[in-house]
Structure 1
Amino acid sequence: MAIEIRPLQKGDEASLLEALNAHRGGCVQQGHALSSEELAWFLAHPSGTRTLLAWEEKEIVGHLSAARHTMWMKGRQVLFAELLGGFVAISHRARLGKRGLFARLCREFFSEQGIDGDFIYYGWPTREEWRLGRKLLAYETIRTQVALTLSVGNAAEGLPAEVELMERFDHQARWLWDRCAAKFGASAIRDEGFLNHRFVERPGYDYENFGVRDDDGVLRGYAVFRKGQWGEETKGLICDWLVPTDEPEVGRLLLRALEAHGRTQGVQQLFCLLPEWSPWFDSFQRAGFLATDAERMWIARTSARRFDVFWLRTQWFSTLADTLIV
């Protein structure tokens, strides 16, 4: 029976939701049934999404999706797209090689990669996902992710008075990112639209956004906390960190706030991902964080040789904000 592969169209949402929950694959699904609100949130991503569906008559038998992020890279604005997995129905898994349905989905999906489309595709697979997908997705490894972890003490210290819990981000988030971005070769543009969608409006996920302002009310740095799963354990996830490197006191205040909040949330450990070239990677270790294996790979398909995985490893300012898995 002929299979039609085409992009998601208006009116497909109910069928996609049913298929995702039947096969538990892709989008923002993390081992749980996806709600219509979560799917709508994903499809409303500020920089857009890309979803390909394989239809057999009136049934979705295959799917592949990505969330786009507006990036600033070497003085120009481009799109990176985070691969969020997919599925192929059991009836079509007999041939998962280069002639199978998933391979067809991949070839179609990546056919529009380039400067006028998705400049770089990337993902954060587990080692098992990495082994299964590397041949069909033809990605390269940027690095094995290195985590920074801190055991939360038992001291009763509260939130520093200089740190506020922000309900939403405003236009000052972009000002802060502009201050920091000169040090980055590549970075997702952190403005109020991106940050509020990611950390305020996401259904089913609770984030706490901590900020430090100066006497004039200008945002000098922020950190995002979420109590959530990483691997088999519940941790205090530092989902984003944006502080100018010449503001060490702001960094110290935010770390004190994160540790204090972690204690109130009952977590035993703070967990953070930062690029190893960032001065904050060393600063966190001086504050007591330990560098350890994050048990995830960081992979990419790049459309330009000069922006290969070696360049990305040393130039891309990436945190947990760049992935929808937490």
Structure 2
Amino acid sequence: MGGTGKGGAGTGEARNGEAANDGAANDGAANDEAANGGAANGGAASSEAAKGEAANSEAANGEAANGEAANGEAANGGAANSEAGNGEAANSEAANGGVASSEAAKGEAGNGDLANGEAANGGAAIGPLMLNEVPALLAAWNRAFGGGLVNFEPRTLAAWEARFAHNPAGLRSMVARDGEDIICQYAADPQRARLHGEEVTFAQVVDTFVSPDLRGGLAGARLFLRTARAFFAEYGAASGDVLYYGWPVPAARRLGVAQLEYTMTDRLLLLGREVPGGGTRDCGTGPPNPVATAGPGPGDASRGASGPGEAVEVWGAAAWPELATEKLFEACTADWDACVVRDSSWFKRRFQGRPGSQYQLLSMGEPRSPRALAVLRHGDWPLANTMTIVDWLVPPHESEAGELLAARALDLARAAGAAALVTHFPPRSVWFERFQAAGYSVHATDLFLVTRPFLRRLEPIWLRDHLWLQLSDTDLV
């Protein structure tokens, strides 16, 4: 769980060294998923079909839900670097030869789903990451994700600490060791979450890898499975984590469905439009263009930054104000049955606490009592030179505020020379409809949300229809 790949609406993405070089043979999109399983637990069908956009083929080919594991398919993909956190990499995960079909069918784990440092079959000791092992982990991570990549930026200790060590929800990392070397990791980023009004913990699976020396064969795949199972035993229901989720590359997706109780839950849909007067885009050989030339939309008129009524304030990455978002979050969550809590500390950690990341904040009202907020990032996902609305915290009844924020976002995209403006909302959201009415088109990517719940009531169809996730809940941007 967690990694996007070369064909996953993020071709060649190399943000902060999070490469997308997946080696999964671009086979995760439409037609190869189901393997005699049909569109079992709701998959990607009905939500994609919402509003009739870009969804006619999603469920038709049987890609959705639990069908991937049918007939004992183990996923031609081994364990490789496939999970690595939403766009982080899948460096040549062994497109053929991951887990033998007999292992997939029988659910063998290789005589040793071990934790707490006990030695497993191949001499590897599996247990939770110790803080004194972080330098060894970084060396292994940089080797796993950076091999052969020209623009790779090695992860630093400061970046790791900002992302994981300073997380108030704690650290979730299971590693396999060969002596002092780390040769496999299965990890997640836990977040405070809300489920039916109660506080719980959700966690996005990220940074999962197997040493390049072990890719392509049974040894690496078995080690990956042992490490993952030890992770779930240590941190799943026992620690109170009720849901793990991610957008894995195809190889990891198939392996997880076959062996780790992953469930395909929904396809990632993007809303996008071209920026009038913006830059040019080099599509190369990447995925289909997620934006189509659209008619006039928010920001095309001459009202500029604000228009009638309240102004939209823009804050650069180095000058974010002190936010108090709790009341605004509560106003937005009336229709959110399951979501990550977007309080002030979450905004600070997610957008200000990541070295090298540049996010712009758009706000209406006083920062300590905002009426509406949006976060932008200019980068190369899903295509080169794209402005992305990463997070959108606007109550459904604030249609005017939403229109003004969208207008300002388009103005900023134009000023930055961006070729496109892209965002994501769950298809049930009123904003999914409003952005289409404003000229945005819908594009179905080849990324699928995969979930691993630890509460029985979190069924895939329910999660598809009730789980609120935005691009800020991914590592894509």
Secondary structure of the corresponding residue to residue 61 of structure 1 = strand
Q: Which runs of 5+ in 1 are unaligned?
A: none
Question: What residue in structure 1 maps to residue 430 of structure 2?
Answer: 279
Cα deviation for residue 150 of structure 1 reads: 1.4
Question: What residue in structure 1 maps to residue 371 of structure 2?
Answer: 220
1:121 aligns with 2:244: yes
CA offset digits 1:103-155 (Å, max 9, x no partner): 10111011132274211110022445434543343311111111100111126
1:67 aligns with 2:218: no
CA offset digits 1:80-120 (Å, max 9, x no partner): 11011411123333544897100101110111322742111
CA offset digits 1:165-184 (Å, max 9, x no partner): 24335453111001111211
- 1:160 is matched with which residue: 306, 309, 315? 306
CA offset digits 1:18-47 (Å, max 9, x no partner): 11111118xxxx964212221111112342
Asked whether the 8 Å contact 1:150–1:269 carries over to 2, the reply is: yes
Asked whether the 8 Å contact 1:223–1:254 carries over to 2, the reply is: yes
Question: What residue in structure 1 maps to residue 211 of structure 2?
Answer: 89
- 1:79 is matched with which residue: 172, 177, 201? 201
Amino acid at match of 1:165: V
- 2:226 is matched with which residue: 94, 104, 110? 104
Select the structure of larger CA radius of gyration.
Answer: 2
Secondary structure of the corresponding residue to residue 83 of structure 1 = strand
The 2-side partners of 1:138 and 1:209 are apart by 38
The 2-side partners of 1:307 and 1:5 are apart by 29
Question: What residue in structure 2 maps to residue 239 of structure 1?
Answer: 390
Question: What residue in structure 2 maps to residue 252 of structure 1?
Answer: 403
The 1-side partners of 2:266 and 2:379 are apart by 23
Cα deviation for residue 6 of structure 1 reads: 1.2
Cα deviation for residue 66 of structure 1 reads: 0.6
The 1-side partners of 2:426 and 2:301 are apart by 31
1:295 aligns with 2:441: no
Question: What residue in structure 1 maps to residue 380 of structure 2?
Answer: 229
CA offset digits 1:42-83 (Å, max 9, x no partner): 112342331111111111111111100110101211111101
Amino acid at match of 1:21: N
The 1-side partners of 2:152 and 2:195 are apart by 33
Question: What residue in structure 1 maps to residue 7 of structure 2?
Answer: none
Question: What residue in structure 2 maps to residue 192 of structure 1?
Answer: 344
Asked whether the 8 Å contact 2:271–2:442 carries over to 1, the reply is: yes
Secondary structure of the corresponding residue to residue 206 of structure 1 = coil
Question: What residue in structure 1 maps to residue 258 of structure 2?
Answer: 135
The 2-side partners of 1:65 and 1:170 are apart by 31
TM value normalised by structure 2:
0.63
Using the TM superposition, name which of 155-164 and 218-227 deviates more. 155-164
Secondary structure of the corresponding residue to residue 450 of structure 2 = strand
Cα deviation for residue 230 of structure 1 reads: 1.9
- 1:206 is matched with which residue: 358, 367, 387? 358
CA gap 1:258/1:45 in 2 versus in 1, 3 angstroms: same
Asked whether the 8 Å contact 1:169–1:195 carries over to 2, the reply is: no
CA RMSD of aligned residues (A): 2.3
Question: What residue in structure 1 maps to residue 335 of structure 2?
Answer: 183
1:269 aligns with 2:420: yes
Identity between Structure 1 and Structure 2 (%): 30
Using the TM superposition, name which of 311-320 and 135-144 deviates more. 135-144
The 1-side partners of 2:155 and 2:476 are apart by 13
Q: Which runs of 5+ in 2 are unaligned?
A: 1-121, 278-299
- 1:47 is matched with which residue: 157, 160, 169? 169
The 2-side partners of 1:141 and 1:278 are apart by 20
How do 1:25-40 and structure 2 match up within 5 A?
A: 32-40=153-161
The 2-side partners of 1:280 and 1:139 are apart by 29
Secondary structure of the corresponding residue to residue 325 of structure 2 = helix
CA gap 1:232/1:31 in 2 versus in 1, 3 angstroms: farther
Question: What residue in structure 2 maps to residue 11 of structure 1?
Answer: 132
CA gap 1:259/1:212 in 2 versus in 1, 3 angstroms: same
Asked whether the 8 Å contact 1:46–1:194 carries over to 2, the reply is: no
Asked whether the 8 Å contact 2:267–2:446 carries over to 1, the reply is: yes
